[in-house]
Structure 1
Amino acid sequence: MEASFHGIAAPSAVYEIGGRRFEAGSHGFAEAIADAHAVHQRPRCMCLAEGIEMYVARLAGSDRGYIVKRMPDTGSRHAPVCPSYEPPAESSGLGQVLGSAITEDPATGETTLKLDFSMSKIAGRTAMPTAVGDSDSVASSGTKLSLRGLLHYLWDQAELTRWQPGFAGRRTWSTVRKHLLQAAENKIARGDSLRTRLYIPEAFSVDQRDAINARRMAQWSQAIAAPGKPQHLMLLIAEVKEIVPARYGFKAMVKHVPDQAFALDEQLYRRLGRRFESALALWGAVDDIHMVMIATFSVSTAGIPTIVELSLMPTTRHWLPVEDGYEKQLIERLVADGRSFVKGLRYNLGAGGALASATLTDCEGSAPLLFVVNAGIEDNGRYLQVCDPSVPVWQWSPSREAMPPLPPRQPHPTRAADSAVDCR
């Protein structure tokens, strides 16, 4: 996705800036990209001989650093081993929303997101949980991001869909949180900064309990109800611990927030079980599945958070999203075999849409797309039509065959990302 001098992305990328070449993170790189930003100069990523144009954006926050980003809709033009490589948008749900629900402005470095859910609440109204994609009839159009679509977008932008062997054992909740918050920087939704509305629990520490709670309540204060006014909603991304009946109504407990439940009303709770039946079944059957929840929530004057809308996303123990048990088998096989890949996400795409479960980035030439063909789908040919015919395609039909051999890996030089302390 991007490379910067403070470790947001892999430091192995090489850029040509003002006629000179710099490895990301090397001596003089920070000054070079700052100068390029000042004169509106575009660096070139040299993953290919001809180079690919990039741009420099300024980061929000106290450090006010700079970051080199790929130009919109150019990710698939990079070499598969390049940190800026991105699978073809049409191989996942990204192709449906890119340029309509997601608009990036290289001149400002800001990305505008159009949402199909509300970020404010009028008293007395309750929304149903959004399980966009469970059937074509409830799938959102590509003009606005659903809750699930937003979660998938942030997961992609945080590079949590990328995997390399060096990441094994080092992707913790703290790492996940850090990169999701960085991914939310410079994102605008409904005219407001997405980052200021996004609450992701800090890793809990008994010694830091009071300080953590104080920071949480300070952030939540913007969502406390005010009489006679629409109430601002917060966004929550967290790992679910349990969703159960409470003394009054129902509640969701999330990990790293042991002393505060999120309230749900009965209507939301009942619909939750029906709309997310398959995801909940996978979570219940497999002990090492993380269940990630994205939700909008309000905060009462008494400080009680109440969920308004939500969506769920199962992930593996390495925080790689999976849709079902078969996809989990494929992803775990790739991890166990030491493969490098990018996990595909559905965004707003309906359940019947062809989705590349993963794209291998450790093969010679074009990156192969890996498809898991769902049972009952007779027309396998449509999986071959989602991208350029020259792109290699691997298919597995679990209901009819054992998993075929994977495309062979080609040796590549060890990248700095594999040995970095900070991983995605």
Structure 2
Amino acid sequence: MKEVFLHHIWKYKLYSTQNLKTYHGDFIEIIDGGNLNFHAGPDFLEAKIVIGDKLWAGSVEMHVNSSDWNLHRHNDDLAYQNVILHIVWNHDCEIDELRQRNVQTLILQDFVKPEIVYNYQNIINSKFERIYCEEFLKEIDLKQFSLWFERLLIERFEEKTEFILQLLSKNNNNWEETLFKSLAKNFGLKVNVEAFEIWSNSFPFDVLQKNQFDKVKVEALFFGQAGFLDDNFENDYYKQLKNEYNFLKIKYKLEPISSSLFKFSKMRPIGFPTVRLAQLSAIYGEFSKLFSEIIIQNNLKSYYKLFEKIELNPFWETHYTFKNESNFQTKNISKDKINNILINTIIPLRYAFERVRSEVEIDFYLDLLQEIDPENNSILDEFVRIGFENKNAKDSQILIHLKKRYCSEKKCLNCAIGHHILR
């Protein structure tokens, strides 16, 4: 039994009010159960409760065991002097100080239906890496939670916004630089995200801005700083980039990172860090003010058009690395990659920018995500298997947040579905 479960029962009145009485025999009428306190002090504040023939106003404190009052040393804390009712699950001892103040004890488990406790323990005590409430979902119409699902999406936006604002602060409130470093992590994928983050911080952003007039200089800067221009390959493109980078290195006193930080093994060639750097350099060779471009687009088609026109250096049509030639394949940014950029970088960044300016139009983001194809991974497959919809990126983002912030953390009491099941 967890104390947070007692909070949930009390807050949502999941107990029988008929013949509700204290351990000491007085009947109770709950006028107002109080407000859950998220800070130090009693669990519920500003409660109004009739105990016997008297109306009491003050705080309510809850414990799994009565003895926890002494264990937590509440007698020594003035904040607990206003407690009017002590609610416990197990009454294992009397608290002398409370009896002296005529504060009574309510044993909550005597008034809670066994199935509520059973359902809670079934969910919380599960040891499997799955959706814990799966067995209950067959009897539930998930469409009734549509508004709550949208709230989850906004929670996800807000969570990402906090990270973006922290990054923005480190970048002296420069949105263009913040976009660049966010995109760099995106292009690193899971395997190389740390390497791309280190790389994006290895040179001043204004060095990139000063050289965006020349696409070759941008490519040279990107590959040179990643340590990929330290060899002596004989192709003309490589030699050109190396010469350009040597000039930039001296001019701006640059220090490249080691190319050994980047991982190639067990990756599809299209995901090689060299290909991703080529794509990223093509973007910044095309747009000198990319952030300004992304915040003025007004629909999905305009975003596709923005990125689909970006072309890589022809060298990459027959290469995945500088070393070996390969069969012809265009390496331009695919629709799936554009979707990934939108979902994980552009939409969160644009939302954060508009929130700072108090200009958020939430329907724009909901509609945009609803147009984008759904994401696919094992987490989403599991949700679909047990009855959830994953028809678009809006669904995907909701389910990922649900899994990450509710299911995995076992916050079933904070989940609308979990709350419905417990009722």
TM category, shorter: under 0.3
Q: Which has the higher contact order (CA 8 A, sep 6+)?
A: 1
What is the TM-score when the length of structure 2 is the normalising length? 0.24
Relative to the length of structure 1, the TM-score reads 0.24
- Whose helix proportion is higher, 1 or 2? 2
